[in-house]
Amino acid sequence: MKVTDIVEKLGLNVFSGHEGLGREVTGGYVSDLLSDVMGHAESGDLWLTIQTHRNVMAIASLKDISAVIITSGEKPGDDTIAQSNQEGIPVLGTELSTFELAGRLYSLLN
Amino acid sequence: MTFEYKVQGGDFTHAGYASSQVKKMLKQLDVDNVVIKRVVVCLYEAEVNIVAHAWDGVISIVLETDTIFMKLTDNGPGIPNIEQAMQRGFSTASHEVREMGFGAGMGLPNISANADKFLITSEPGKGTTVEITINLNSTAV
Ligand SMILES: Nc1ncnc2c1ncn2[C@@H]1O[C@H](COP(=O)(O)OP(=O)(O)O)[C@@H](O)[C@H]1O
Ligand SMILES: [Mg+2]
């Protein structure tokens, strides 16, 4: 499944990184602790978080995350958006909580 | 080949720069992806530790045909008890740093899990040196 399919099926906002909407999604990871993501996320994962600062993009890029989904209606910072566009890794958003989104995403991917 | 990067304490906007440069370089050299990932985890965590805990530092990368050696030397408060610092969950990070999602006390354990050789030496009040070696042609940790 591609990022764009997930956007469509779950009604997500696309804040930035449109170039990367064709990236392949192979799984998901949920965490707001950056070292946890660093240590455990797999490449191709969607990353669900409420963190909005630009270090999220540095990690997403280093780990080859397919896209970042910011939950609970939080918005990415300007420098996060800029880096997302530069890396071509989408930053998506939802009003849903991480719990609700993860549930829907899990059934979609499995 | 030897490369050097400077790291400024407190400068979270550039945290991860060296890691991303090294990742690109290893990709160009066609190093196995699993190995690149381990290098990236180690270097990022060690780099962020300088940003989060020290004043300034230098990263030197020595790339040879079959190994990468990464040495991070900082001026900073040092680590009074390395054994304690190595424990999962131990962190002295500030409240602000924790709010950003850093400071979970998982950095050094992440390095230890991904490095082939890992050595920390520290002089309290002066600084810390972290030395990490990873074999480039084996995927096993
Ligand atoms: N370069 C460093 N200079 C000073 N203290 C450090 C350094 N690296 C690590 N430490 C100490 O070791 C602790 C654990 O490090 P780490 O496992 O990376 O967790 P975290 O960075 O999330 O606190 C830090 O909280 C800090 O007290
Ligand atoms: Mg750390």
Topology classification of domain B2-135? Heat Shock Protein 90 (3.30.565)
| Residue from A26, A29, A35 whose CB has the most chain B CBs within 10 Å, to mutate | A35
Q: Rounded to two decimals, what is the model's pTM?
A: 0.96
pLDDT of residue B138: 72
**Measured between CB atoms, which of A38, A49, A56 is closest to B110?**
A38
Q: Do B101 and A32 touch (CB under 8 A)?
A: yes
Do the beta carbons of residue B118 and residue B131 sit within 8 Å? Answer: yes
Contact list, B37 vs chain A (CB under 8 Å) = 43, 63
Give how far B50 is from chain A: nearest CA, Å.
Answer: 15
- What's the B49 CA to ligand 1 centre distance in angstroms? 6
From the list A60, A63, A46, the residue with the least C-alpha distance to A106 is A46
Give the ipTM of the model, two decimals please: 0.94
Ligand 1 proximal residues by C-beta, below 6 Å: A 35; B 45, 49-50, 52-54, 74, 76-79, 85, 90-93, 102-108, 128
The ligand 1 atom at the shortest distance from the C-alpha of residue B127 is: 3
**Measured between CB atoms, which of B12, B20, B45 is closest to A38?**
B45
Q: How far is Cα A66 from Cα A91, in angstroms, rounded to an integer?
A: 10
pLDDT of residue B88: 96
Question: What are the tens digits of pLDDT across the range B13-70?
Answer: 999 999 999 999 999 999 999 999 999 999 999 999 999 999 999 999 999 999 999 9
Q: How many helices (H) and strands (E) does chain A have?
A: 5, 5
Question: What are the tens digits of pLDDT across the range A24-68?
Answer: 999 999 999 999 999 999 999 999 999 999 999 999 999 999 999
Question: What are the tens digits of pLDDT across the range A16-32?
Answer: 999 999 999 999 999 99
Q: How far is Cα A15 from Cα B72, in angstroms, rounded to an integer?
A: 36
Q: Do A34 and B104 touch (CB under 8 A)?
A: yes
Angle ∠(A16,B10,A77) on CA atoms, nearest 5: 20
Question: Which whole number is the average pLDDT over B108-133?
Answer: 98
Question: Which whole number is the average pLDDT over B115-131?
Answer: 98
Question: Is the per-residue pLDDT at B139 higher than 70?
Answer: no
- Quote the percentage of chain A above a pLDDT of 90: 99
The ligand 1 atom at the shortest distance from the C-alpha of residue B110 is: 17
Question: Is the per-residue pLDDT at B141 higher than 70?
Answer: no
- What's the A109 CA to ligand 2 centre distance in angstroms? 32
Question: Where does the pLDDT of residue B98 fall: very low under 50, low under 70, confident under 90, or very high at 90 and above?
Answer: very high
Tell me the residue range of the domain where A79 lies: 3-109
Q: How many domains does chain A have?
A: 1
A27-30 β-sheet, strand order: A13-16, A91-93, A67-70, A45-49, A27-30
Question: Which whole number is the average pLDDT over A88-98?
Answer: 98
Question: What are the tens digits of pLDDT across the range B25-38?
Answer: 999 999 999 999 99
CATH of the domain at A10: 3.40.1390.20
Three-state DSSP at A15 gives strand
